[in-house]
A and B are shown apart, each in its own frame.
Chain A
């Protein structure tokens, strides 16, 4: 089907063969594995301190209620119970949990006490805290706390929540709307006026639970007025500042440590009430405390992700050229605004246009309060939602015009010679080559062969139909240029810090403000430093995740570590070399301008044999016996890097799905992902990030959903109900890369943490819909469980969508991996095919 086969284009972007001697580009096995595969880890829950007490939280079983009375006397009388505190007991010191992103000046930002005082607004909200001698005693005492709740109306449906006269989550605010944020570019009316093709759709981004494998945990100790808080967090630096702000404990008296952290995916990019309370308890009791959540507790109390209703209109010409796109979102905030809750959907505002050119674009997002767990960052954060919308629409457009979905994309995408390209959403994409990634993906996928098989199955009326899903995505990552964050009213900058210490023995310590929790910084950062400084990889140690050791940083999220923190490290290394060059010139009695640095050695230009290694220079600087005039006796250097632009990874993902039209069961037959993440420091780590990202994106398409009943009860509180896919539920992926270096940083890197998740969800759903097109199906709501696929088919066979329109999810509804027959039974509600409007 290929209308172009630009081999020459593809050749330019073939990943460069690694230099045999270079560390960057090498598939180093990870340093951090040594402790992780032997159990010599330091998870927060592993920490035992002398005199340590254990904390448990009593949580609201009701989604919305006034707290009429709490009687904790019986709990306090239980053996081994040191303290029981209610929200009222903590009211004077607990403050309000911070929201760092007031997206509009008139944004409604309700008070958010760590422990509820008068009213609870979601199931799982803390109402009391018990401190006891061990974790069993603490949990036992929870049952003895007696709370009288006066139920209030539960607000669970976003569309109803914004109707006139709706029940309110925060009665005092007078509205369930937190904000409305608008972005407009181009003349949308002109684009839609007389447009020959207009596609209108309503898609639902279901609510997801991030589910890092390590549940949250906090340990806090107070010695005098010095506090140390260990937390399973992605953001020790931000957490330190925010905890100081909330509690009034001075920032310089507080040290925050993120020890080994078992995954985050955005869920540990947060300032949680439990962290605040543990700090207050350590202060109040003068003894160290530990809190570790259970999974069932965490499913209710860790912030959730996604949860948008998207109303989309796309105008196009007959030849498939896009004229304009209108996006109208309702974004569920949950009951409160947490650290970056309101900003998450806005991270998608600049991405709905994807890789395509268009004349006009309009984006409106209304943040809505409901009586549900607050939402916030989850892998991709705003960009998966946007990418899903545009990539689904591109397939709908292709279908409308009778074109191949790739042809429609080719007619609209930015051609490689057009970079840098200013998009309709106001971003400048610096580099990319969508043609090359697509051509490579098509070859690996055997696109034409699969299309032929699809045609054959259609002709034969095979009960198992084959669908092909396309997703040609880009994303903005490397968060973020501080000036851009400022223009979006974000509360902080987006720089990152690194320092490099060359020890007297010549060994190197790298300190980074990025806080890894599975990404492999200890390996990749050592590769960068080893290359730049010309020292052995083994001689570099990377320190992170402790504000006492790494005092400056903006932490890890938004695929920013390498594109921002890696560049800071690169720059810090250069400063070390500059200092060492001056010292070497002095030692070699040469002019600084005649000193050349390569392979870890400083030599005098044109004088063979005259050289000093970096290690020799470091030792001389340490001894300080003979320094250049005015030279400080140290090579140590630091750098803070603020990116000038986002980075824009892109790629082409192709999914072939077999859909059983009798049972609704979906099997991913093959999945090809060709990603362009720019230059690569460690291809092994990059591939691993892509694999994991794909798994989470596919899980949104097929398996996962946080389900609430009509009273606001979360019915997917356990891993038995919320289906995180197992090895048996996922296919083997074919991954490859093209490489167009980022032009906005010296490493040429773009970031890879979220790409797989962003790209894969629409690829899978497009494949399912493609399989079912001949039956008249044009949408299946996510997650596309066997039941929902079956109902979508049943509805069109009966000739009409069932009433209600909205899908009725049920706990365990995502059990797509089981081979049993679908149908009602697993879930409580009735599914429907009515996702498209």
Chain B
């Protein structure tokens, strides 16, 4: 079995894995990183979205062996353990979740969206999150939350810039 070395949320894990093992199952079943759920088997729903070297991927469509040597960030790696990441806070404040099953993927996809576009319009947010399905919210509050987080993050970036 191939040996893979993956850094997940700041911790390195070396494991022998079956070549066919999905990253999603590697995270959940082998590494105990169950914060990332799985919602489908055709890479449509996006619930399992994580960041690989900062870019969003659906962890059900990445093999564990493909993650070898890469850095993975999951929902569990956001914030610093005590305070929430601005995107997490915005989802809470805007009531952008109900059952919460899509939320980890939605938040990770939103971070990638915001990376590409620091000031997205509602339409850009809707288009950017097309690969992540939510059955509870009707998306309206998710759009609000992403806009709010983007605003907060932009302001804090600007404040940091001015400080330098």
Interface residues of A (CB under 8 A from B): 29-30, 32-41, 43, 45-46, 48, 134-136, 211-215, 260-263, 265, 294-296, 517-520, 684-685, 687-689, 691-696, 718-720, 724, 726-728, 730, 732-733, 756
Contact with B136, one of A34, A48, A263, A733 (Cβ below 8 angstroms): A263
Nearest CB on A from B44, distance (A):
4
Q: List 22 A-B contacts (CB under 8 A).
A: A29-B95, A38-B88, A39-B34, A43-B34, A43-B101, A46-B34, A136-B20, A215-B38, A263-B135, A295-B41, A518-B98, A518-B100, A688-B137, A692-B138, A695-B138, A719-B40, A720-B44, A724-B45, A726-B126, A727-B129, A727-B142, A733-B138
B100 touches A260 (CB 8 A): yes
Q: Verify A728–B127 contact, CB threshold 8 A.
A: yes
Q: Are B139 and A517 in contact (CB under 8 A)?
A: no
User: Across the interface, do A262 and B100 meet the contact criterion of CB distance under 8 Å?
Assistant: yes
Residues in B with CB closer than 8 Å to A518 are 98-100, 136
Q: Is B118 at the interface (CB under 8 A from chain A)?
A: no
Are A39 and B25 closer than 8 Å at their CB atoms? Answer: no
Query: Which residues of chain B (96-149) have a CB below 8 Å from chain A?
Result: 97-104, 107, 122, 125-127, 129-143
A-contact bits for B69-101, CB 8 A (1 contact / 0 none): 000001110110000100010011101011111
Residues of B contacting A263 in the complex (Cβ-Cβ under 8 angstroms): 98-99, 101, 135-136
For the complex of A and B, 5 pairs with smallest distance between CB atoms: A39-B35, A36-B100, A262-B101, A518-B99, A695-B138
Q: Is A213 a contact of B101 with CB atoms below 8 Å?
A: yes
Residue of A nearest to B133 (CB): A724
Q: What separation, in Å, do the CA atoms of A37 and B79 have in the docked complex?
A: 11
Task: Let me know if B47 is at the binding interface, CB within 8 A.
Answer: yes
A409 to B53, CA, bound (A): 58
Residues of A within 8 A of B20 (CB): 136
A730–B91 CA distance with the chains assembled, in angstroms: 19
What's the least CB distance linking A261 to chain B, in Å?
A: 7
Give Cα A692–Cα B98 distance, bound, in whole angstroms.
9
Given A211-B135, A692-B135, A728-B130, do A33 and B97 touch, yes or no (CB 8 Å)?
A: yes
A338 to B104, CA, bound (A): 33
Of B21, B36, B39, B95, which is in contact with the most chain A CB atoms at under 10 Å from its CB? Answer: B95
Q: How far is the CB of A631 from chain B (nearest CB, A)?
A: 43
- B100→A41 contact, CB < 8 A: yes
Question: Which residues of the other chain, B, contact A730 by a CB distance below 8 angstroms?
Answer: 126, 138-140
Query: Assuming the A-B contacts A33-B91, A719-B133, A720-B44, are A212 and B18 also in contact, with contact meaning beta carbons closer than 8 angstroms in the complex?
Result: no
**Is B158's CB within 8 Å of the partner chain A?**
no
Contacts of B32 in A (CB 8 A): 48
Instruction: Tell me whether B137 and A719 are in contact (CB under 8 A).
Output: no
Asked whether, in the complex, the Cβ of A37 is within 8 Å of the Cβ of B44, the reply is no
Assembled-state Cα–Cα distance A732/B141 (Å):
10
Residues of B within 8 Å of A39, CB to CB, are 34-36, 74-76, 104
Q: Are A684 and B95 in contact (CB under 8 A)?
A: yes
Set of chain A residues within 8 Å of B84, measured between Cβ atoms = 37-38
Set of chain B residues within 8 Å of A519, measured between Cβ atoms: 98
Q: Is the CB of B88 within 8 A of A726?
A: no
Given A45-B28, A719-B44, A724-B135, 4 new contacts (CB under 8 A):
A33-B97, A38-B78, A295-B42, A726-B126
Q: Contact between A691 and B42 (Cβ–Cβ < 8 Å)?
A: no
Beta-carbon contact of B138 and A262 below 8 Å: no
Q: Which residues of A contact B100 (CB under 8 A)?
A: 32-33, 35-37, 41, 260, 262, 518
When distances are taken between beta carbons in the complex, the residues of chain B under 8 Å from A719 are 40, 42, 44-45, 133
How far apart sit A48 and B34, CA to CA, in the bound complex (Å)? 10
In the complex with contacts A37-B92, A261-B99, A695-B25 CB distance below 8 A: no
0/1 interface trace, chain B 13-39, chain A, CB 8 Å (1 if under): 000001011000100110010111111
Bound together, the chains give a CA A39 to CA B34 distance in angstroms of 7
| Closest beta carbon of chain A to B24's beta carbon, Å | 11
Q: Are B98 and A37 neighbours in the complex by a CB distance under 8 Å? A: no
Minimum distance in angstroms from A639 CB to a CB of chain B = 27
Measured between beta carbons, the chain B residues less than 8 angstroms from A262 are 37, 39, 99-101
Q: B78 to chain A: which residues have CB within 8 Å?
A: 38
CA distance A614 to B43 in the complex (A): 53
Beyond A262-B99, A263-B98, A518-B100, whether A38 also contacts B79 by CB under 8 A is yes
Which residue of chain B is the closest to A265 with respect to CB atoms? Answer: B135
Closest to A682 in B: B95
User: Once the chains are docked, how many angstroms separate the CA of A547 from the CA of B44?
Assistant: 35
B99 close to A30 (CB less than 8 A): no
A46 closest partner in B (C-beta): B34
The minimal Cβ–Cβ distance linking A15 to chain B, given in whole angstroms, is: 17
Closest chain-B Cβ to A352's Cβ sits at a distance in Å of 27
- Taking the closest CB of chain A, its distance from the CB of B153, in whole angstroms, is 16
How far is B139's CA from A692's CA once the two chains are assembled, in angstroms? 8
Closest to A690 in B: B138
Please judge, given known A-B contacts A135-B25, A212-B135, whether A45 and B92 are in contact too, CB under 8 Å: no
Central interface residue in B34, B78, B138, by most chain A CB within 10 Å? B138
Q: Which residues of A contact B40 (CB under 8 A)?
A: 215, 294-295, 718-719
In the complex, what residues of B have CB within 8 A of residue A136's CB?
Answer: 18, 20-21, 25
A296: which B residues are within 8 A, CB to CB? Answer: 41-42
Among B32, B34, B107, B129, find the residue whose CB has the most chain A CB atoms closer than 10 A: B34
Cα(A29)–Cα(B94), bound, Å: 8
Min Cβ gap A48→B in Å is 8
Q: Give complex CA distance A430, B91 in Å.
A: 37
Bound Cα distance from A128 to B84, whole angstroms: 46
Chain A residue with Cβ nearest B44:
A719
Q: Which of A38, A45, A265, A726 contacts B131 (CB 8 A)?
A: A726
Return B134 CB to nearest CB of chain A, in Å: 7
Q: Report if A692-B75 is in contact (Cβ < 8 Å); known contacts: A213-B99, A214-B101, A719-B42.
A: no
How far, in whole Å, are A802 and B146 apart by their CA atoms in the complex? 47
Instruction: Tell me if A691 and B44 are in contact (CB < 8 A).
Output: no
Distance of B108 from chain A, by nearest CB (Å): 10
A267 to chain B, nearest CB (A): 10
> Whole-angstrom distance between the alpha carbons of A134 and B28 in the complex?
13
Q: How far is the CB of A616 from chain B (nearest CB, A)?
A: 34
Assembled-state Cα–Cα distance A214/B103 (Å): 11
Most interface-central of B32, B125, B126 (chain A CB within 10 A): B126
Asked, given contacts A263-B98, A265-B135, whether A36 binds B103 with beta carbons under 8 Å apart, the answer is yes
Q: In the complex, which of the residues B99, B101, B132 has the most CB atoms of chain A within 10 Å of its own CB atom?
A: B99
The chain A residue sitting closest to B39, CB to CB, is A213
In the complex, which residues of chain B have a beta carbon less than 8 angstroms from the beta carbon of A692?
98, 135-138
Q: Which residue of B34, B41, B143 is within 8 Å of A727 (Cβ)?
A: B143
A43-B37 contact in complex given A33-B100, A213-B133, A692-B137, C-beta closer than 8 Å: yes
| Closest chain B CB from A197 CB (angstroms) | 37
CB-CB under 8 A from B79, the residues of chain A are 38
**A727, B76: Cα distance in complex, Å:** 24
- A-chain residues with CB within 8 Å of residue B127 when the two chains form the complex: 727-728
Among residues of B, the one whose C-beta sits closest to the C-beta of A684 is: B95
Say how far B41's CB is from chain A's closest CB, in angstroms. 4
CB distance from B40 to the nearest CB of A (A): 4
Contacting pair B44 A718 (CB below 8 A): yes
Question: From A517, which residue of chain B is reached at the shortest CB distance?
Answer: B99
Give the CA-CA distance A724 to B133 in the complex, in Å: 7
Selected contact of B135 from candidates A34, A213, A261, A687, CB within 8 Å: A213
Question: Does B39 contact A214, Cβ atoms closer than 8 Å?
Answer: yes
Task: Report chain A residues within 8 Å CB of B74.
Answer: 39
A27: nearest chain-B partner, CB-CB: B95
Residue on B with the closest CB to A379?
Answer: B135
| Chain B residue contacts of A36, Cβ below 8 A | 97, 99-100, 103
Smallest CB–CB gap between A620 and chain B, Å? Answer: 38
Question: By the criterion CB–CB under 8 Å, are B97 and A37 in contact?
Answer: yes
Closest approach, in angstroms, between the C-beta of A356 and any C-beta of chain B? 28
Q: Complex Cα distance A696/B20, Å?
A: 36
Question: A588 CB to closest chain B CB, in angstroms?
Answer: 42
Q: Are B37 and A45 in contact (CB under 8 A)?
A: yes
Nearest A residue to B93 by beta-carbon distance? Answer: A29
Taking the closest CB of chain A, its distance from the CB of B52, in whole angstroms, is 17
Inside 8 A of B122's CB, which chain A residues have their CB? 732
Contact B98 A688 (CB under 8 A): yes
